[in-house]
Structure 1
Amino acid sequence: MGGYIVQKKLDELTIGDEATIVNVLGEGRVRRRLFDIGVTPGADVLLRKKAPLGDPIEVTIRGYELTLRKNEACLVVCDIKGGKN
């Protein structure tokens, strides 16, 4: 424990950051798609790769690799584990 909670959107994480999803913003089809592929509050996520301009990103979530566009990743709010900034 001992760390403090830092909240960032998924597209703001740096490679190697581990986080827990706390909220999925947005509405409609994009939000439903994120839920359908397992991007839900409480899920742990690890940022594995980022394209040179930050779009897309690759994360590990629920034991599998997932690629998200920046416009999707910016809707996912996370608590960074260990208080890394």
Structure 2
Amino acid sequence: MKRAFFGRNGWGRGGRGTGGGQADGCRACADGCSLDALAPGTTCRIRRLMGCGPVRQRLLDLGIRPEREVTVLRAAPLLDPIELRVGDSFIVIRRREAAQIEVEDV
């Protein structure tokens, strides 16, 4: 197997691997962008969650699921964290967590 497939330390243990068996090339899709790159006031639809483990589970528990619409409301002065509106809920997440959410325009 290639090194990029598993990462330096194995399945998602701080290496470059994603933990889901995806190569690093899949993280930067040309069709979508990540949620952390959007400006406040932007509404988008979630395409997929690229994270794994407890971070992915936390995002799913907060209601961040594929095909849901998300509005970026505010960003803190130093850009971390960002406030989102998902359905009727207001959620604040870190930029590095938002970077694991791939979105598309509505």
| Residue in 2 that maps onto 1:20 | 45
2:60 is aligned with 1:35: yes
Which 5+ residue runs of structure 2 have no aligned equivalent? 1-30
**Any runs of at least 4 consecutive aligned residues in structure 1 with deviations exceeding 2 A, and if so which?**
none
Distance (whole Å) between structure 2 residues aligned to residue 17 and residue 8 of structure 1: 13
RMSD (Å) for aligned C-alpha atoms: 1.1
Normalization by structure 1: what TM-score?
Answer: 0.84
Normalization by structure 2: what TM-score?
Answer: 0.68
Distance (whole Å) between structure 2 residues aligned to residue 67 and residue 13 of structure 1: 15
% same residue: 33
Distance (whole Å) between structure 1 residues aligned to residue 48 and residue 103 of structure 2: 7
1:70 maps to which of 95, 100, 104: 95
Which 5+ residue runs of structure 1 have no aligned equivalent? 1-5
- Answer whether contact 1:8 1:80 (CA < 8 A) is retained: no
- Measured against aligned partners, the alpha-carbon deviations of 1:21-52 in whole angstroms (never above 9, x if no partner) come to 00001110000110111011011000000012
Q: Which has the larger radius of gyration?
A: 2
Q: Which amino acid aligns with 1:48?
A: L
2:73 maps to which of 48, 53, 57: 48
Equivalent residues, number = 76
* Structure ranking higher in strand proportion: 1
Q: Taking CA–CA contacts closer than 8 Å with sequence separation of 6 or more, which of the two structures ends up with the larger relative contact order?
A: 1
